[in-house]
Amino acid sequence: MPRLLLPIAPWPFAELGILHHAQLGENRCLSITLSTMSAILALVPIRAGVLPSGGAEVVAEAQGRALLVGEGATEAAEALAGIATHLRAWETPGFAPGEWANRLAPVLRDEAVVLLPASPDGRDLAPRIAAVLERPLLAGAMEIRPGSVSTIRYGGRVLSEHLVNGSVVVTLQPGVRGVEHAHGSAAALEFITPPLAEAAVRDATLEELLPPDVSTMDLSEAPRILGGGAGLDSVERFEQLAQVAALLQASAGATRVITDRGWIAHTRQIGTTGVVVDPRLYIAFGISGAVQHTAGLGQPDHIISINMDEHCPMMDLADLALVADANETLQVLQQRLLALEDSQRTAQV
Ligand SMILES: Cc1cc2nc3c(=O)[nH]c(=O)nc-3n(C[C@H](O)[C@H](O)[C@H](O)COP(=O)(O)OP(=O)(O)OC[C@H]3O[C@@H](n4cnc5c(N)ncnc54)[C@H](O)[C@@H]3O)c2cc1C
């Protein structure tokens, strides 16, 4: 990863991500070591019992200490079985980051590091928590080490290293850490109700919640990804890849060879100099599996690889390895999915 040496800048420039090796926090803050087990608390916003992307990772990073906020804590706790050890939950409807931050302030004040996933809700909540606790926010962490945090900046092109010598709020990029799925029963849940805040906060009113468009959603949050590499033969093939992805409710991504050719936007590049993803399903069409690509793959539950070379690294990684022409496979897959869609439409009439 590239490391950029930038001049030490004082807080608040830390929030703008333009510092390197800067001291964060104020002298009055307790000096902390990030590896200290009790020093990190994972704060996980949940919706309808579902963990956000990266939710399990922050709980694992906090050595199992977590506070769940939102609706459906019991179901979310079950999803954290074997990962969470000390679980508290505030069961509260909707998503109100301003009100939540105000009410959670007394609960979080003594936590040296409050760690949230850099999921959409985590990214909304984290700056508000940092503001009410009057401490810096380190957004988009790639790694948390004793006494320092590295974050990505400028669309993933810069890795900044921040020395931490005070209390902070951190968001962790989903997929960068991974979680060993340990077996075990769900940790006991302690429900809390934070005190009402003195000052009222106005949160945005939710008019309607629209599901994300899988074809354009941020790759790092996509649950299914179809990746294309140099084994696909043309720019038109990448348009076909996007169409097939849409039919499968999946997103399209690519290797750097392809983004360098301009066949697909750089925002769709998966890997160390692209986006770190963490899908449940990854289908690789004509991708060799270079380490710079696979290092950005997270830990998919299932990997399918279509390649002419049965010995390439991507085929070794795959749960299902098909030795076949990726272009023909994509063509046949599209025809079958379209035929299936047609027959379902006819059956409904
Ligand atoms: C500093 C640095 C950073 C990098 N960052 C990234 C990054 O973030 N992301 C990234 O992806 N790469 C990155 N790279 C590039 C990386 O090293 C590889 O070059 C790249 O991932 C290879 O892409 P590929 O698999 O598409 O191409 P190739 O390695 O050329 O592989 C093409 C594959 O297609 C197969 N194939 C060919 N024809 C067919 C066919 N008809 N049907 C099926 N299979 C076929 C071949 O067998 C082969 O396995 C980086 C490199 C460097 C040096």
pLDDT tens digit string along 288-344?
999 999 999 988 989 999 999 999 999 999 999 999 999 999 999 999 999 999 999
Reply yes or no on whether the pLDDT at 105 is more than 80. yes
Domain end call among 150, 171, 191: 191
Q: Report the phi/psi class of residue 301: left, alpha or beta, with left for phi > 0 and alpha for psi in -120 to 50.
A: alpha
Q: In a mutational test of the pocket of ligand 1, which residue from 159, 282, 285, 287 has the highest number of ligand atoms less than 8 Å from its CB?
A: 287
Query: Which phi and psi (to 5°) does residue 78 adopt?
Result: -65, -35
pLDDT tens digit string along 32-66?
344 443 489 999 999 999 999 899 999 999 999 99
The reply to whether ligand 1 has any atom less than 6 angstroms from the CB of 309 is: yes
Reply yes or no on whether the pLDDT at 25 is more than 90. no
Looking at the chain, which runs of residues are DSSP E strands? 23-24, 40-46, 65-70, 86-91, 113-117, 137-145, 148-153, 158-164, 168-172, 189-191, 224-228, 251-254, 281-285, 302-307, 320-323
The reply to whether ligand 1 has any atom less than 6 angstroms from the CB of 228 is: no
Reply yes or no on whether the pLDDT at 101 is more than 80. yes
Closest residue by Cα to atom 2, ligand 1, is 292
The reply to whether ligand 1 has any atom less than 6 angstroms from the CB of 307 is: yes
Domain count, the chain: 2
- From the CA of 225, how far away is ligand 1's center (Å)? 16
Claim to verify: residue 19 and residue 83 sit in the same structural domain: yes
89 strand-pairing partners? 68, 191
User: Is residue 213 one of the residues assigned to a domain?
Assistant: no
Average pLDDT in the 104-122 region? 95
**CB < 8 Å & 24+ apart, contacts of 317-324:** 317/289, 318/284
Claim to verify: residue 34 and residue 176 sit in the same structural domain: yes
> Residue 259 maps to which CATH number?
3.40.50.1220
- Angle (CA) 174-214-169 rounded to 5° is 25
Give pLDDT, residue 200. 81
**Confidence class of residue 30 from pLDDT cuts 50, 70 and 90?**
very low
**Confidence class of residue 273 from pLDDT cuts 50, 70 and 90?**
confident
DSSP structure class, residue 204: P
Domain end call among 152, 173, 191: 191
Contact present, 239 and 334 (Cβ < 8 Å): no
3-state secondary structure (DSSP) of residue 18: coil
Question: What percent of the chain is modeled with pLDDT above 70?
Answer: 88
The reply to whether ligand 1 has any atom less than 6 angstroms from the CB of 293 is: yes
> Residue 120 maps to which CATH number?
3.40.50.620
Domain that holds residue 17: 13-191
**Confidence class of residue 213 from pLDDT cuts 50, 70 and 90?**
confident
Question: What percent of the chain is modeled with pLDDT above 90?
Answer: 66
Nearest alpha-carbon partner for 297 in 148, 178, 161? 178
- From the CA of 257, how far away is ligand 1's center (Å)? 6
- From the CA of 258, how far away is ligand 1's center (Å)? 8
For residue 270, the ligand 1 atom closest to its alpha carbon is 9
